[in-house]
Amino acid sequence: MFNISFAQKKQRLLRDTLDNAFDVSHYMYDLNGLLPILSPITEPAVGFGGALAMVYFIPKKKDSTLKFQMPDILAIAGGLTENNTWFLGGGYLGFWKNDHIRYRGIFGYGDIKLKYYGNGSDFLAKNPISFSTKSTFLLQQANFRIGNSNFLLGGKYQYSKTTNTLFEENDSKWINPKELKMTNSAIGIIGEFENFNNFISPTKGIRFNINYLQYSQLIGSDQDFGISASFLHYYLPIIQNKWISGFRLEGQLATENTPFYLNPFINLRGVPAMRYQGKLTALVETEQLLLLTKRWGIVAFTGIGSTYENNEQLNKTATTWNYGTGFRYLIARELGLRMGIDVAKSNNDWGVYIIFGTAWLK
């Protein structure tokens, strides 16, 4: 008789041959299947709603090294919320030439209803301006690995055509009329160090990114301004295969003449988008993942962020914080892909988030 191991048994569509658990590795990686992601939207800035995304993984051809190569990812998504915010778009994430070129292309259109709380204005903080922003967006980005190192250099082009409509006529005194209808066109430069063990769902490694985006009339922008940003994401296994500790540091700085709707804001789970804006923002967040089994884990996180005005004196204008918990499930073992749900609370509001890979994916 032949001794056939369990791992060699016939692959079932949505079951792993190793533990017979629900797993979509074979479906996505070998059969090129679409992964539907249906997510509730509880973003405090736009209210309750739902979003549907279809994600398609394009695997690389296996070579003699048998080394895992990150597949390319194609996705389309759309969503609608209770305040009539809606969006539709798609994107492509490519890992080309044995991960020596990383490409990202995104396009979309949205009609988003938001509130503007000002940059440190006490009056607007209590009496925010309600507005609608209709925008077409395009991003083209490519990073190039330096030799076989963990360093990458790249550039990007970003375009948006935006029309903002104020819901109250007397709010116009707070907004530059030129910023109600704008074309924004920018080119940028990117520098990065990254040695993650998995780009989508890392459990070990560092990613440090610094970039600058210049909007210029020379390439079709209505106004000249710039935005610089940097982030550090660090994952450290405290106890191997049991406890993963993550840390996040991020900051953004905008120059003068930046339109009100593009000024940096604190991006933390549970904090309404654009609630805390400033010419300079800084935040720190930590996330602790405790793996209960090879498949299941629970996560806890907390963070704090501040906004600043007057770039010379760096006057702090606001501070916000968040905390929350959730779970993760290893949904695609061969890809190392985890998904889950987080519930977050801040000093202003709360939210529920579907997490695909890392919550800090950029």
Decide if pLDDT at 156 tops 90: yes
- The predicted pLDDT at position 311 comes to 55
pLDDT digits (tens, 9 = 90+) for 239-269: 999 999 999 999 999 998 999 999 999 999 9
Q: Write the Ramachandran bin of 274: left for phi over 0, alpha for psi from -120 to 50, otherwise beta.
A: left
Residue 361 lies in a domain: no
CA angle, 132 then 272 then 268, to 5°: 135
Q: How many residues does the chain have?
A: 362
**Cβ atoms within 10 A of the Cβ of 186, count?**
23
**What is d(CA 27, CA 2) in angstroms, rounded to the nearest whole number?**
28
Residue 3 lies in a domain: no
- The predicted pLDDT at position 5 comes to 39
CATH number for the domain spanning 109: value is 2.40.160.50
What's the whole-number mean pLDDT along residues 277-288? 96
Q: Is 133 within 8 Å of 163 (Cβ atoms)?
A: yes
Structural domain harbouring 115:
22-356
Residue 16 lies in a domain: no
What's the whole-number mean pLDDT along residues 168-184? 85
Decide if pLDDT at 313 tops 70: no
Residue 7 lies in a domain: no
**What is d(CA 292, CA 244) in angstroms, rounded to the nearest whole number?**
12
Residue 128 lies in a domain: yes
- The predicted pLDDT at position 42 comes to 83
What's the whole-number mean pLDDT along residues 301-324? 84
Residue 220 lies in a domain: yes
Per DSSP, helices labelled H in the chain are 25, 122-126
**What is d(CA 177, CA 224) in angstroms, rounded to the nearest whole number?**
16
- The predicted pLDDT at position 213 comes to 97
Percent of the chain with pLDDT over 70: 92
For 299, counting Cβ atoms within 10 Å of its Cβ (0-12 exposed, 13-18 middle, 19+ buried), the class is: buried
pLDDT digits (tens, 9 = 90+) for 74-124: 999 999 999 999 999 999 999 999 999 999 999 999 999 999 988 777 788
Residue 13 lies in a domain: no
Residue 226 pLDDT level (bands cut at 50, 70, 90): very high
- Name which of 178, 252, 187, 180 is nearest 216 in CA terms: 187
Long-range residue pairs from 235-240, CB within 8 A, at least 24 positions apart, any chain: 235/196, 235/202, 235/203, 235/204, 235/205, 235/206, 236/204, 237/203, 237/204
CA 161 to chain CA mean position, Å: 21
**Cβ atoms within 10 A of the Cβ of 61, count?**
5
For residue 203, give every residue at least 6 positions away whose Cβ sits within 8 Å of its Cβ, in sequence order, or none: 197, 235, 237, 244, 289, 336
Residue 362 lies in a domain: no
Report how many domains make up the chain.
1
